[in-house]
Amino acid sequence: MRKWTPYFLLIPTFIIIVLFIYMPAGVSLQTSLYKVLPFGRGMNYIGLKNFLKLFSNPDYLYSVRFTILYVATTVGITILSSFLIALLMVKKIPGVRFYRTLIFAPYAISPAIAGALWTFLLNPVVGHVSYFFQTTMGIQVEWLTSKPYAFYAIIFASVWKILPFDMIFYIATIQNVPEEILESATIEGASSMDRTWKIIFPMVSPITFYLVIMNIVATMFSSFAIIDVMTKGGPGQYTTNMIYRLYLDGFYFQKAGVASAQSVILIAIMIVVTMVYFKVGERYVHYQ
């Protein structure tokens, strides 16, 4: 009996995972091979045509390129700036807890609301950011509707949204770096630059690696709300990434087959990312 207890306790979780993750994934895999007509009017088996069409569709290829650029920039900026801010946040300065709370606030906001907030701030006519630029520099920028500003706006909002998550992890890890190591380094004559980049940064590398993976997932998938609210993928598909393209095809144009093919591609990418995480992570990252 005892042998079966853990399995018994796992059943609820399994039911949910199978129902909401494996089954939909399986159905996606199946529908990706069909041309699906709206309203359940029918499905025609077309083999790999959906995939072939996608890879010969310049719009889709653009969205792939844009996703890579967007993910790389967002994750890069987020990791670096959250590490630097975390370094400040572990200093024993008055009111540090208050600042931590302030900086953590964006994480608690849903992406759609974050997008709405930035849409308002960046409004070229009545937005505060635009007002600031107009009064101080005398320039009027259409943040969400022109190139390349729409890209900057999306990056900025995404970084602002993910940064607190990374920062909390960094604060916790940096506080765990043993004082003795830093002290002995100081005695040996290491500058604060050396201590930061040659001791602290390598010692927090496992968490950096974890955060990079988490951020890639977040920017690839959760970026939907920010893009939908802020730019709707515009101007002219300029900020349409893979997940937004999928939404357009699946839920706006009612082309379930093509959208499923796109989700299969996304699943494949995530499998690769996770495998890299497990394989490379163990080999190269320094664990204490």
Partner 1 sequence: MKKIILITLLMVVFLTGSVALAADKVNVQFWHAMGGWRIELLQEMAQDFMALNPDINVEVQYTGSYGDTINKLNVAIQSNVAPHVVQGYDIATQMLIDGEVAVPMQDLIDADPDFDIGTFMPQVLNYYRVGGKLYCMPFNSSNAIMFYNKTLFKKAGLDPDRPPKTYEELLDYAEKLMVKDDKGNVAQAGITWNLHCWFFEQFMAVQNAALTDNDNGRTGRPTKAIFNSDDGLKTFTFWNDLTKNGSMINTKVHDWTGARNLFISQKVAMIITSTSDVALMVKSAKENNFELGTAFIPAPADAESGGVVIGGGSLWMVAGKPEAETKAAWEFVKFMAQSAQQIKWHTGTGYFPVRKDAVEDLLAQGYYSESPHNLTAILQLLLSTQNYNSNGAIIGAFAEVRAIVESNVQKMLSGDMTPAEALAAAEKEATVAIRDYEGL
Residues 144-203 that bind partner 1 (CB under 8 A): 144-147
Which pair of structure tokens corresponds to residue 149? 């500003």
One residue of 101, 191, 192, 254 binding partner 1 per CB under 8 A? 254
Cis peptide before 148 (omega within 30 of 0): yes
Q: Which of 248, 259, 261, 265 binds partner 1 (CB under 8 A)?
A: 248
CB atoms within 10 A of CB 198: 13
**Does residue 51 contact residue 32 with C-beta atoms inside 8 Å?**
yes
Q: Whose Cβ is closer to partner 1: residue 206's or residue 234's?
A: 234
CB of 120 to partner 1, least distance (A): 10
Stretch binding partner 1 (CB under 8 A), from 82-90, 186-194, 230-238, 260-268 = 230-238
Q: Is 56 near partner 1 (CB under 8 A)?
A: no
Shortest Cβ distance from residue 23 to partner 1 (Å)?
14
- Of 8-16, 107-115, 193-201, 229-237, the window that binds partner 1 (rule: CB under 8 A) is 229-237
Which residue number, 73 or 123, has a Cβ lying nearer to partner 1? 123
By rule CB under 8 A, what string of x and - marks binding of each residue 121-150 to partner 1? --xxxx-------x---xxx-x-xxxx---
Q: Which is nearer to partner 1, 134 or 222 (CB)?
A: 134
Q: Which is closer to partner 1, CB of 132 or CB of 197?
A: 132
# binding residues, partner 1 (CB under 8 A): 33
Binding residues for partner 1, rule: CB under 8 A, are 35, 37-41, 123-126, 134, 138-140, 142, 144-147, 231-238, 248, 251-255
